[in-house]
């Protein structure tokens, strides 16, 4: 805990930690690298059901890096979204930001940062994408409406796009064009999640549908609040789903620019995002009364399709 805090600040931080899993706290003593990497592996496999499936196809050398990156993102996201109190979340995000600074200075104590320090050193990752994510989580505490799609995509620039940059850095890629394509895919994924969770986000006090688009299609907040499906809302969602599809298409060339193992993961992310859009369409864009979901068999089918494409690609190279 930072020094020179007054009793009110200490109480705010303590109540924030109490709302989260005990393992998220910063330990009194720095763990060993083996303990830290085990922590990230456990956190990843218990929080993200698809990660350990996809990671089967990653080179073994990359798995600890992807786990440490995911663990950083997971806890940071929870600090911003699972505490339930704006001031407490902001205080904890400040602490997490301090640990990030300490990590780059070689002095962090949290197991995530002990593991992440190795990833940063071996992959040459700058601080910016990690810090950018914290900008988005801080914004979540104060920004709940977005005037235009430009504003939404500016949010994605901090909330989603840094993850793609981190994945590329971990894979050894530094090309600016690859980062640009990754931004399309990551922003499209974020939009797909937003359109899937319109009702869920509204219950948290947030609307990611651009106000400008809502007005153009004749949709007001009362429509979302009531959960009442209207033709105007259906047309709005049809338009937003179409825009997300265009972004997935714009980012798709990246899959063919990386090695086969990483391409499989990128392909799965893209297919998964498109499947969310398919699920929205399948229920005629009514995301107000039920949240579109991808069934287990569809997830299995996505994996099989991605594996098939990877196998065929290897055969073409061999030929």
Asked if residue 316 and residue 192 are part of one domain, the reply reads: yes
When pLDDT is cut at 50, 70 and 90, the band that residue 261 belongs to is: confident
Asked if residue 172 and residue 301 are part of one domain, the reply reads: yes
Of 41-50, 171-180, 249-258, 264-273, which range is least confident? 41-50
In a domain, 130, yes or no: no
- Boundary-marking domain end, from 96, 124, 152: 124
When pLDDT is cut at 50, 70 and 90, the band that residue 308 belongs to is: low
How many domains does the chain divide into?
A: 2
Joined together, the tokens standing for residue 94 give 């400040």
Q: Cβ-count burial of 105 within 10 angstroms (0-12 exposed, 13-18 middle, 19+ buried)?
A: exposed
Rounded to whole angstroms, the Cα distance separating 96 from 76 reads: 7
Asked if residue 47 and residue 166 are part of one domain, the reply reads: no
Provide long-range contacts, Cβ within 8 A and 24+ apart, for 149-155. Answer: 149/210, 149/212, 149/213, 149/243, 151/210, 152/191, 152/194, 152/208, 152/210, 153/187, 155/208
Asked if residue 258 and residue 297 are part of one domain, the reply reads: yes
Asked if residue 306 and residue 157 are part of one domain, the reply reads: yes
Rounded to whole angstroms, the Cα distance separating 181 from 258 reads: 12
Per residue in 96-151, pLDDT (tens digit) is 999 999 999 999 999 999 999 999 999 999 999 999 999 999 999 999 999 999 99
Asked if residue 301 and residue 191 are part of one domain, the reply reads: yes
When pLDDT is cut at 50, 70 and 90, the band that residue 312 belongs to is: very low
In a domain, 90, yes or no: yes
Asked if residue 174 and residue 107 are part of one domain, the reply reads: no
Look at residue 311 in the predicted model and tell me its pLDDT: 47
Task: Give me Rg for the CA atoms of the chain.
Answer: 20
Q: Which residue has the tokens 């990833």?
A: 119
Element (H, E) at 217: helix 211-217
Asked if residue 240 and residue 209 are part of one domain, the reply reads: yes
In a domain, 148, yes or no: yes
* Residue ranges making up the domain that contains 249: 143-319
When pLDDT is cut at 50, 70 and 90, the band that residue 8 belongs to is: confident
Please provide the average confidence, as pLDDT, over all residues in the chain: 89
In a domain, 229, yes or no: yes
Look at residue 296 in the predicted model and tell me its pLDDT: 59
Asked if residue 90 and residue 159 are part of one domain, the reply reads: no
Residue predicted with more confidence, 55 or 131: 131
Of 128-132, 176-180, 264-268, 284-288, which range is least confident? 264-268
- Boundary-marking domain end, from 70, 97, 124: 124
Asked if residue 294 and residue 209 are part of one domain, the reply reads: yes
In a domain, 41, yes or no: yes
In a domain, 136, yes or no: no
Asked if residue 176 and residue 89 are part of one domain, the reply reads: no
In a domain, 138, yes or no: no
Asked if residue 104 and residue 147 are part of one domain, the reply reads: no
Question: Could you give the count of Cα atoms lying within 13 Å of 85 in the half-sphere of its Cβ?
Answer: 14
When pLDDT is cut at 50, 70 and 90, the band that residue 280 belongs to is: very high
In a domain, 111, yes or no: yes
Residue 44: pLDDT over 90 = no
- Boundary-marking domain end, from 71, 91, 124: 124
Can you give the CATH number for the domain in which 308 is found? 1.10.600.10
């Amino acid at each position: 805990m930072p020094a020179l805090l007054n009793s009110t600040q200490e109480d705010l931080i303590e109540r924030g930690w109490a709302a989260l899993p005990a393992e998220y706290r910063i330990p009194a003593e720095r763990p060993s690298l083996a303990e830290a990497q085990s922590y990230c592996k456990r956190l990843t496999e218990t929080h993200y059901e698809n990660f350990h499936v996809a990671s089967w196809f990653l080179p073994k050398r990359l798995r600890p890096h992807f786990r440490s990156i995911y663990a950083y993102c997971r806890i940071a996201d929870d600090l911003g979204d699972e505490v339930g109190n704006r001031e407490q979340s902001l205080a904890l995000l400040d602490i997490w930001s301090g640990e990030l600074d300490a990590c780059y200075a070689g002095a962090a104590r949290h197991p995530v940062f002990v593991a992440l320090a190795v990833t940063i050193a071996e992959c040459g990752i700058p601080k910016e994408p990690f810090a950018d994510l914290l900008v988005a989580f801080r914004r979540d505490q104060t920004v709940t409406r977005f005037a235009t799609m430009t504003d939404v995509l500016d949010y994605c620039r901090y909330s989603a796009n840094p993850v793609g940059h981190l994945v590329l850095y971990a894979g050894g890629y530094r090309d600016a064009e690859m980062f640009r394509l990754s931004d399309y895919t990551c922003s499209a994924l974020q939009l797909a999640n937003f359109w899937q969770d319109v009702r869920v986000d509204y219950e948290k006090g947030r609307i990611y549908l651009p106000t400008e688009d809502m007005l153009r299609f004749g949709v007001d907040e009362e429509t979302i609040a009531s959960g009442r499906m209207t033709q105007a809302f259906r047309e709005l969602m049809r338009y937003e789903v179409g825009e997300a599809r265009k972004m997935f298409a714009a980012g798709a060339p990246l899959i063919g620019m990386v090695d086969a193992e990483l391409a499989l993961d990128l392909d799965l992310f893209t297919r998964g995002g498109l499947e969310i859009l398919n699920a929205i369409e399948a229920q005629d864009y009514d995301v107000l009364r039920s949240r579109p979901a991808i069934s287990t068999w569809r997830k299995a089918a996505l994996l099989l399709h991605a594996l098939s494409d990877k196998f065929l690609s290897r055969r073409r190279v061999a030929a």
